[in-house]
Amino acid sequence: MEKQLAGLIELINQEVDSLENFLKLLRQEEECLINKHFDLLEESIRKQGKALLRAKKLERNRKEVTTWISNDLRMEQNNISLLKLTQLLDSSYSSKLDELQKTLLGLHRKVEMQRIKNEKLIKESMACIDNDIKLLIESLPDSQAAKSQGNQKKAELSLILNKVS
């Protein structure tokens, strides 16, 4: 059991590192959005995807190990959690698991808050782009504006068709 608990602690430490990296990437995304570095934004989003896949894999592995340990402790399968586990273990493991669980929860909150913040920035950026396009179209002479709107609709339709195919 000690080997499984040591493995669980190592796994959770890796999960913490992974979430910290993901949070760092979300903050980089925020900087890219604020400073309008859209070329760097694409790279940041790509890295976020990889980091998120790694974090999810580590979380699945943690849940599997937690289930194995809970089986050894004869815990009810519907009550499996790190909190329940820490209550059943001796103090050396329980204090470390409790600390790591609190760290994970804190990181999950920070990631969610940063994600919401970035989502808001993206929406604001899109609204600015929409407004710029409207101003540009309005500044064109009437015949050019009508032609431009027609071309814009063709371009939008083309983009939609490309995404569907």
Torsion of CA 61, 8, 83, 17, to 10 degrees: -80
Q: Which residue has the higher pLDDT, 115 or 163?
A: 115
Q: What is the pLDDT of residues 29-43, one digit of tens each?
A: 999 988 988 889 889
Number of domains the chain contains: 1
Indicate if the pLDDT at residue 164 is higher than 50.
no
CA–CA separation, 143 vs 150, rounded Å?
11
CA atoms within 13 A on the CB side of 109: 6
Q: Residue 156: pLDDT band by 50, 70, 90 thresholds?
A: low
Q: What is the pLDDT of residues 2-27, one digit of tens each?
A: 788 889 899 999 999 999 999 999 99
Q: What is the pLDDT of residues 98-134, one digit of tens each?
A: 899 899 999 999 999 999 999 998 888 888 878 778 8
Indicate if the pLDDT at residue 165 is higher than 70.
no
CATH code, 55? 1.20.58
What the block records as the tokens of 6 is 């040591």
Contact present, 90 and 73 (Cβ < 8 Å): no
Structural domain boundaries, residue 21: 2-164
- pLDDT for 105: 92
